[in-house]
Amino acid sequence: MQFRLDNLTRQFGSQKAVDSVSIEIPTGQMVGVIGRSGAGKSTLLRMINRLVDPTSGSIRFGDVEISTLRGAALRNWQRDCAMIFQQFNLVPRLDVLTNVLLGRLNHRSTALSMLNIFSREERLMAIAALERLGIEQTALQAAGTLSGGQQQRVAIARALMQSPKMVLADEPIASLDPLNAKIVMDALRDINEREGITVITNLHTLDTARNYCERIIGMARGRVVFDGAPSELTADAVHEIYGADRHGAGIDETMTSTSINIAHQDNDAARKIPSPGLRPLAAAEA
């Protein structure tokens, strides 16, 4: 099923946060969206999920126009494209298992949902999702007591419970330390590879996008300024995406990367773990 944006635009006042973006994404791609702070990455993802309405343009999934969906059809779409946030968005006082089960809400009747009644199948599915992410031992713990990395894994388990067609992740590792960042990115890659689910993820660091994504979309000032494979991301392309800093100096990859090599990866020394979300470019801009 082809997913396609045509001239998608979102204006806030006189400013175009996303400006005439047209892209096609075939099912099963793992796409990284990069760009400096304010480039429009979050607005783009939020429009796809319809958390933000487009000012103009179209979002099509197969034959369905997403940008005008309302009511139940809109809720079904939001179930189909699960969203993962930097700040996890769990219900901290509820236990982990219940948080994961909440991913089923749009699959069930309102009455059952209100009563918080989940079937045995749903509970087994939730436990399987937790097992897959290696956090089944936390099932009965309040979600708010988990570490950031564990909470993001709970959020991914909840997303899996939605049986999504697409996973959208808005800087999923920006609040995590390098080890947890790697665990979370590996989990997203696993979902992409094993289930063939399209993953579109905003990332603050270039090295993470290079390591994990088969396709990189670079945004600047609301527009797509790069769209290609990691191998095509030349120094010129990086400069086009991130621009020069305010002192006129070019921004090289080291500034968009905080990689640390892990010692036990000695058979693959070139491979770096994903960076935590330092925001050097945002800082340069301030």
The footprint of ligand ATP (CB under 6 A) covers 12, 17, 35, 37-43, 282
54 contacts which partner out of ligand ATP, Mg ion, none, CB within 5 to 8 A by kind?
none
Select from Mg ion, ligand ATP, none the partner in contact with residue 38, using the beta carbon and a kind-dependent cut-off of 5 to 8 Å.
ligand ATP
Around Cβ 21, how many Cβ atoms within 10 Å?
A: 23
Partner from Mg ion, ligand ATP, none binding residue 151, C-beta < 5-8 Å depending on class: none
**Please, what is the minimum distance in Å from the beta carbon of residue 219 to ligand ATP?**
7
The token pair at 259 is 């990689």
Q: Which residue is nearest to Mg ion (CB)?
A: 42
Q: Which residues contact 69 (CB under 8 A, 6 or more apart)?
A: 50, 77
Nearer to ligand ATP, 204 or 210 (CB): 204
Residue with smaller CB distance to Mg ion, 87 or 119: 87
- Residues ≥6 apart with Cβ < 8 Å to 236: none
For the beta carbon of residue 87, count every other beta carbon within 10 angstroms.
Answer: 13
User: Would you say 9 or 99 has its CB closer to ligand ATP?
Assistant: 9
Bridge partners, 239 (sequence order): none
CA–CA dist 56, 58 (Å, integer)? 7
Q: How far is the CB of 277 from Mg ion (least distance, A)?
A: 10
Residue 38 CB, shortest distance to ligand ATP, in Å, is 4
Q: For residue 253, give Cα distances in angstroms to 141, 205, 215, 233.
A: 40, 9, 17, 11
Q: How many CB atoms lie within 10 A of CB 104?
A: 22
CB closer to Mg ion, 40 vs 103 = 40
| Binding at 37: pick from Mg ion, ligand ATP, none (beta carbon under 5-8 Å per type) | ligand ATP
**β-strand 15-25 against 81-85: which pairing, if any?**
unpaired
Helices (H), 29-70: 41-48
User: Of 41 and 104, which CB lies nearer to Mg ion in the complex structure?
Assistant: 41
12 touches, from ligand ATP, Mg ion, none (C-beta below 5 to 8 Å by class) = ligand ATP
Which residue in 253, 84, 270, 95 sits closest to 184, CA to CA?
84
Contact residues for Mg ion, defined by CB under 5 A: 41-42
Question: Min. distance of Cβ 283 from Mg ion in angstroms?
Answer: 15
Least CB distance to ligand ATP at residue 69 (A): 21
Token pair 């995406």 is at which residue? 241
Beta pairing partners, 167: 82, 199
Tell me how far, at minimum, the Cβ of 42 lies from Mg ion, in Å: 3
Q: Between 55 and 58, name the residue whose CB sits nearer to ligand ATP.
A: 55
Of residues 17 and 139, the one with the C-beta less far from ligand ATP = 17
State the minimum distance, in angstroms, from the CB of residue 177 to Mg ion.
Answer: 20
**Which token pair is 163?**
């049986």
- To ligand ATP, the closest distance from the beta carbon of 212 in angstroms equals 18
Q: Which is nearer to ligand ATP, 125 or 233 (CB)?
A: 233
Q: What is residue 191's three-state secondary structure? A: helix
Distance CA 103, CA 159 (A): 6
